[in-house]
Structure 1
């Protein structure tokens, strides 16, 4: 019965308490804490089970001779698997008080506690098992070699099961976090890391594992090459690198073997690799190291697991490709619209970069900043309904023409307001509100202060900043200092004062964006020399 759980006895085993030169305990050991005020109990216990192994891991014993000593040891070792605990030590209930300390103060519900007593009358079993969170109760006189083995192995089996469940929960949490938001830049990497954690936990593998994926789609990081998307342990340094640059011959050899093996699985001398080519043509590799033989159940689990993971990555790459295509379509639409007004098409790209910069410095998340950046490109969509004669008039507008210009915000809003896309709905709100003013003197609704959504307040600053710092058909570009002076004057009037402060404090970053797009498009004509 015990053999089924890989319990082995060795003729030559290290003495109890063996540790590294620095005093630390090797990680591949089961830590067992013996708490008893009788020295002989410590000696007999370690002698009985010192040569035992469970799941190819040896035992390491920690010793405490009072409840207080045990508390100190427990505070410094958070991975103790089993506590063999005496009830009566410095007081009649020292052991029971330690149980409460472990469960309630340390909040440790993982360690398995085996209560042992030589005075059962001091702690009646029926009372103790109901009132205290212990996992076994034994009288010292009944713990023969065979019973001791059964008790310890049962405790270790329970501990190992609990730890495995907790590791699985952490892996699943990473997967859930990764899939929560399509705009999260590292979503693919986080998903890969999560599935690797889960796999190594389920199969009790070494922590070193690597997953690579080559989708064959344009959205892959290096088209046509297999790129490491996720890795753990010693392979972490290779994330985002082509698999061919991983300078580990044994790993690369295992991957080559997996290509030609049945079902794409190769495992020899603890080096395992899985190769899978999906229906979309993507090539997928998984490499990991193990310290045990894989049984048929393990292999079945691996096949199901890796096949589903590969399909999940395919879907994520496809979604990313669709997202990038949608962004490009929106940008091109916005630029084409800007061309009607004799303004450079880079206006929308500069505004988008300013918006992202302001949003991040305002304290918004990366996801919100990306959302506002993309939505901002459509802020003047309503101009599509403004006649060219009004839109491109070089002189002052008449009151009637100004009303036509003002109407563009409602027209653009009506075009997008019924969309089900979060980005398009955000764009519709920006179109409607980006000409409102902080002091309430804007249009179309005369909103003021926080009544104006933060996305619209940000776009207002970015749009006016770009409009003033670049040439328009009716005027030349303002100098850099004149633009900044205008924003100082309009702080708390036209613009959110906090956003103006961010602009003034970050003017060098705004200048770099302006230079980047102005130089590319040749938009420098007519710009004052002190702008550059």
Structure 2
């Protein structure tokens, strides 16, 4: 494709030839139909729209009916946005249920008020110059408007969107809107699972009178360590979501043992250890990937690298990586927090123990990554502090 620059330094391209348009459509159609992660799907949709109409930017707006707002998690050149459906050109197109396109935002009279409070106001903040604009609503399978495509600044020599562009973006909106419906449903189901898991994790912790933000911190520590170990963003997020359930089995431990201020007897400790198998039993039959990961974490977060842990005495890499990561995250936070049976440890004392337990309790590689990422972990500890029950900030 021919590409040059105009006097303002903006790239100049040519409209797609029919064979190029088909390539773009088939390429993105294949990717979109197989994508169920909402953010990635929205990125694909924005990229497809931008390529099809040869625009500088493309924003995918979603309609939040409960709040009567439009929001975007994916927009080229700008951060995530949220605005009233009663403002902006996108809001107008969604309310009227029809496309709108404008040759020059600064010279347009029909939508002058909307543009002054929207695109032009944004330009003044960012230094960007909006000229051509095109907004096309999209609908779900029931014909309800669920959002809109918004393309900004045509990159061809004429600098204006055409009737063909409108037809192309309408085609993209029709296809993407229906694909988005199933992704939104999957996203809602996953968010509901996360909420249930986090709430259940808190129930397990609250029964043992542990600090209120313990599950939050363990989740964040687990994510940081997973990324530091080279896990993908998706898998690290999965562990972050599942790790709050590590002590869910404590719901079956009697209060007399769970809340005992002194040392447990041998028999009491055996009962306490059963929370790992109880938690696993509660979760193991789920087909959902989040709950399957939570089952692993609940079962294996007290296993030790040298094989002296429980409940199965697993050794080394026999222990799932989720269990190994959660183990050090849980111990780090537990030691640094006040409990009914102990005072919070100072940071230096905790770090010394982790080094001593490298290759014994903990996976040596994870200890090394932990030490490298300690500043990030301490930021999490400070962000989710439990006030009087937390270690003093000066220790960090």
For the aligned pair, the TM-score class normalised by the smaller chain equals 0.7 to 0.9
1:341 aligns with 2:208: yes
SS in 2 for 1:508: helix
Residue in 1 that maps onto 2:42: 189
Residue in 2 that maps onto 1:225: 69
SS in 1 for 2:264: coil
Deviation track 1:291-348 (CA, whole Å, cap 9, x = no partner) reads 78647xx877655542342343344344333322321221111112211112123111
Aligned ranges for residues 67-106 of structure 1 at < 5 Å?
Answer: none
Deviation at 1:487?
A: 0.5
Residue in 2 that maps onto 1:523: 389
* Matching residue within 489, 504, 507 for 2:371: 504
CA distance in 1, matches of 2:351, 2:218: 16
Shift in alpha-carbon separation, 1:257–1:380, aligned structure 2, 3 A: closer
SS in 2 for 1:190: helix
Please tell me whether the aligned partners of residues 359 and 369 of structure 1 are also in contact (alpha carbons under 8 angstroms): yes
Please tell me whether the aligned partners of residues 274 and 285 of structure 1 are also in contact (alpha carbons under 8 angstroms): yes
1:442 aligns with 2:309: yes
Shift in alpha-carbon separation, 1:283–1:445, aligned structure 2, 3 A: closer
Please tell me whether the aligned partners of residues 257 and 268 of structure 2 are also in contact (alpha carbons under 8 angstroms): yes
Deviation at 1:273?
A: 3.8
- TM-score, L = length of structure 2: 0.76
* Matching residue within 43, 54, 57 for 1:206: 54
* Matching residue within 256, 263, 268 for 1:401: 268
Please tell me whether the aligned partners of residues 192 and 230 of structure 1 are also in contact (alpha carbons under 8 angstroms): no
Please tell me whether the aligned partners of residues 380 and 408 of structure 1 are also in contact (alpha carbons under 8 angstroms): yes
Residue in 2 that maps onto 1:313: 180
CA distance in 2, matches of 1:421, 1:347: 24
Residue in 1 that maps onto 2:146: 282
Residue in 1 that maps onto 2:77: 237
Q: How many residues align?
A: 352
1:466 aligns with 2:333: yes
Deviation at 1:446?
A: 1.3
* Matching residue within 91, 98, 102 for 1:264: 98
Deviation at 1:522?
A: 4.0
Please tell me whether the aligned partners of residues 259 and 275 of structure 1 are also in contact (alpha carbons under 8 angstroms): no
Deviation at 1:194?
A: 3.8
Please tell me whether the aligned partners of residues 275 and 284 of structure 1 are also in contact (alpha carbons under 8 angstroms): yes
Say which is worse superposed, 503-512 or 464-473, in terms of deviation. 503-512
CA distance in 1, matches of 2:253, 2:367: 30
Deviation track 1:13-60 (CA, whole Å, cap 9, x = no partner) reads xxxxxx9999xxx9668xxxxxxxxxxxxxxxxxxxxxxxxx9xxxxx
* Matching residue within 354, 374, 379 for 1:487: 354
Shift in alpha-carbon separation, 1:404–1:364, aligned structure 2, 3 A: same
Aligned ranges for residues 16-165 of structure 1 at < 5 Å?
Answer: 160-165=17-22
Deviation at 1:167?
A: 3.0
Please tell me whether the aligned partners of residues 61 and 148 of structure 2 are also in contact (alpha carbons under 8 angstroms): yes
CA distance in 2, matches of 1:240, 1:528: 35
Shift in alpha-carbon separation, 1:390–1:264, aligned structure 2, 3 A: same
Aligned ranges for residues 268-417 of structure 1 at < 5 Å?
Answer: 272-276=134-138, 282-287=146-151, 289=154, 294=163, 303=170, 305-417=172-284
1:514 aligns with 2:375: no
SS in 2 for 1:237: coil
List gaps (5 residues or longer) in structure 1. Answer: 1-18, 30-54, 56-158, 245-251
Higher normalized contact order (CA 8 Å, seq sep 6+, divided by chain length): 2
Please tell me whether the aligned partners of residues 225 and 369 of structure 2 are also in contact (alpha carbons under 8 angstroms): yes
Shift in alpha-carbon separation, 1:286–1:414, aligned structure 2, 3 A: same
Residue in 2 that maps onto 1:112: none
